[in-house]
Every structure is written in C-alpha cells, then in structure tokens.
Amino acid sequence: MIASLTEEAEAIGWYAQRIAVEKDRTARGIMKNAQREEFKHFGMDLEFLLRATPEWREILKAILFRSGDIVEHGEEAEEEH
C-alpha cells in the first residue's frame, strides 16, 4: 500500500506539471478532473495505512489539518513519540 501511495503522489505531481504548461482550457479541465481522482486515491491509501498503523495516525494528528507552523508541529509530534 505504501507503493500505491507513492504512485498516487507521483501521478498528482505529473498532472500538476502538465496542467502548468497546457494552454488549452479544455485539456486543462480534463487533467484537473483526472488529478482530483488521484487525490481521492491518495487519500484512501493514506487512510488505509493510518488505520493499519495507529502510531502513524497519532503522529500525523499532531501535524495535519492544523494552522500554525508546520515545522513546529512536526517537532512537537516527534518529541511526543
């Protein structure tokens, strides 16, 4: 599942690169739609891994979806675990 997560992240990046240089509005729209699918797959893969690995979930809860300094949150999460 980690390999799948990596592949989804790569696909998101590839779409971002293609969208950035595509001049045709319709083509960009199609690629953005496809990229959203990759976001969904990435999220499902990540959620699966977090359910399977409770320690990861605890560490990431201290970092994700919080306002403020990302690095600080990461350092705090590392200190707690």
pLDDT at position 26, please?
A: 98
Closest C-alpha among 25, 34, 1, 26 to residue 13? 34
DSSP state of 69: -
Nearest residue to 6 via CA among 40, 42, 33: 42
Q: Which residues of the chain have pLDDT under 70?
A: none
Give pLDDT, residue 78.
Answer: 82
Instruction: Look up the pTM and report it.
Output: 0.84
Residue 71 main-chain phi, psi, to 5 deg: -65, -45
Alpha carbon 28 to chain centroid distance? 21
